[in-house]
Structure 1
Amino acid sequence: MEHVLPMLTQQATAARDREAARLQQARQSHAQAQATLQRLEAFRQECLARSPAATGGRGDGATLAAYQQFVARLDEAIAMQRQETGLRANQADAQQQRLAQAQQRLLAFQALANRQAVRAAQRETKREQRMADEFAARATARAQEPFA
């Protein structure tokens, strides 16, 4: 496991970075869809403000019918853009979840590596202590030997 853990950590880091990039793209896509929706809604408001009924002008029946048909198509486009914006928001939320999972996986591997490093340091400390104890025991034994 000692030799595999660095590779797994590296792969988890790369996966997390890919998920973060995908989240950035999803957020940008959502922001673009939201901006398009806002432009459509603003355009609709402008059209309604300039309508023949709003300006006090009178138009013939064909002109009013064409205008109403145009506004209806604009309303359909706005409804479709709202759906698209909602879809993009859901995609960004789902991507946020995938990023969180990738981050958790990376943190788990890092925690394992940290525990492994602590255990290795403890083993090394014990080894050094044994060596020091053995050295001290030999030195004491030599000091107690009679000189020949």
Structure 2
Amino acid sequence: MAKNSALDILIELASTQSDEAARRLGVAVRACEDNEQKLAMLMQYRDDYEARFRAGVANGISMAGYRNFQQFLEKLDTAIAGQQKAVDNARQRIENERGQWQSCERKRLSYDTLATRAQALEQRKENKRDQKMMDEYATRLANYKR
């Protein structure tokens, strides 16, 4: 019986670890979604700003205005590159967290399988004991009636 309680403790510990890994995976997914939204927003802002820049060039723009537009577009490109790196890092974190969660789940399922096998073995032993008792009872009853 001590083996079953130790196995139950391992199952509970593995379940806790799996739940924690699932929680971390959820946090990583939400962080990635946030980073992707920020990237999309920056890219949309850059496209809008570039359209305004082109309209300004078409309508005539001073050299200082042209230089300001160009510098701001460069800063936006730098911000976009940084945000793309953040998205890439967030996606990598998702993959890492998913791997850890899968590992925890495999461990938990392995312990569950061991527990199921142990319960089945115990049930077979109990069935044999019951059958033996019933056989002994039937034998005694038959001997008693003679």
TM class by smaller structure: over 0.9
* Alignment match, 2:11: 9
TM score, norm. by length of structure 2: 0.95
Unaligned runs of 5+ in 2: none
Deviations 1:90-137 (A, max 9, x none): 100110111111110000010011001101110110000000010011
TM score, norm. by length of structure 1: 0.94
The structure that is helix-richer by fraction is 2
- 3-state DSSP class of the match of 1:50? helix
* Alignment match, 2:99: 97
CA distance in 2, matches of 1:89, 1:57: 42
Could you tell me how far 1:66 is from its partner in structure 2? 1.3
* Alignment match, 1:123: 125
Q: 1:88 aligns with which of 78, 87, 90?
A: 90
Moved beyond 4 Å, runs of 4+: none
Aligned residues: 143
Unaligned runs of 5+ in 1: none
Aligned pair 1:54/2:49, yes or no? no
The alignment yields a C-alpha RMSD, in angstroms, of 0.9
CA distance in 1, matches of 2:91, 2:21: 16
Could you tell me how far 1:54 is from its partner in structure 2? 2.6
Instruction: Answer with 1 or 2: which has the greater Rg.
Output: 1
CA distance in 2, matches of 1:106, 1:64: 62
User: Identity, % of aligned pairs?
Assistant: 26
* Alignment match, 1:30: 32
